[in-house]
Chain A
Amino acid sequence: MTTKTIKASAAGASFLPAVFAVVLGLGIITVTGHVQASGLHDAAHDVRHATGFPCH
């Protein structure tokens, strides 16, 4: 049981950097591509159109 737990947590922890990086990456994409706050929208406007994000 103890061995199992150690193995499970080790496997889980070893994927944590990848999971965290995916969340960070998707967070950045959401801010640059999707958030509709007007300042962000205006600054990212041309990029959103050119990169195929739904813009307005």
Chain B
Amino acid sequence: MNKPLTMWEYADLNGVTRRDFLKFAGWIAAAAGLEASAIGSVVHAMDTKPRLPVVWFHGQECTCCSESFIRSSHPIVSDIVLDKISLDYTETLMAAAGHQAEEALHNTMKKFKGEYLLLMEGSIPIDDDGVYCCIGGRTMLDIVQEAAADAKAVIAWGSCASNGCVQAAKPNPTGAKPLHEVISGKPIINVPGCPPIAEVMAGTIVHLLAFDRIPQLDGLGRPKAFYSRRVHDTCYRRPNYDAGLFVESFDDENARRGYCLYKMGCRGPVTYNACGAIRWNNGVSFPIQSGHGCIGCSEANFWDNGPFYQHLASFPGFGIETTADKIGVVVGVGAAAGIAAHAISTNIRKRKLIQEEIKSSTESDAKGGA
């Protein structure tokens, strides 16, 4: 077997000039939000590293994470897969099947012991000896525990692997568990969302490649770069909330003006994700921009925190500076308090309008609406 090429050697073979290579390294640093002074370390990292061996597992999932991943626009996925990593096992894309597929997996686990990156898409069912998800006659639990033992680091893709997602919703018929509940002793990066945004997935991998270390994580193991702000705090409709301008019914006059979707059940105020900042599919839109409230798909237990169209009973009135670490997981109770609390904590100019809004909102709540 040839010695794996470093990223620079690889680029050089492909006819990339050193000058362009340095520009690319600068771009990676910029994409990861680094200061200009860090570009040197990016260049050094890419000069000396072979492509990172990666294995990608599928447990109880719908493959939306894989689909999201291939939507990445920067970098584009063919460049990631051909030039930046070596994706040695992925049931979605790999040419091999059956025992040849398993052989590819075991070759990587053996040859790159302690060096490969393990990506987990999907939850892992543990009830009834794990029979609810088997591959090649083995349980997912068995497979992932074996592979995780010798992995360098582990990424839990999506809400399934990060928090259990839909199959873990009540009554969780198969005992579906997120990755961090079934393996231990390895750094795990949780990248929740159903699915996560493509560029967030690619960005997490780029971070590992460029800096050879896991990104800064919050208390729930999520990269701070993408999960430190509430959707509410990065939402372009936020000024409507602050001004008390709300959609009262889908396709009403207020909806056609793009007012705030809080009363339609929007979970933006309790959801940490980058949808408002990065947006989806190369920045085209995100759920709120397209008229539907956020359903909170990156938060643990969001399926059981519904119904989706019932607006949040309340949430603590914390300011835009507060991060997930300080607040933790937020679940609200007690109807009208929500808007009132938020109104107090926010610097609002249109106080009168908001007072009226609270009044009418309280009245409609009392009637059991929303």
Whether chains A and B associate is no
Which residues of A does B touch, CB under 8 Å?
none
Give the interface of B toward A (CB within 8 A). none
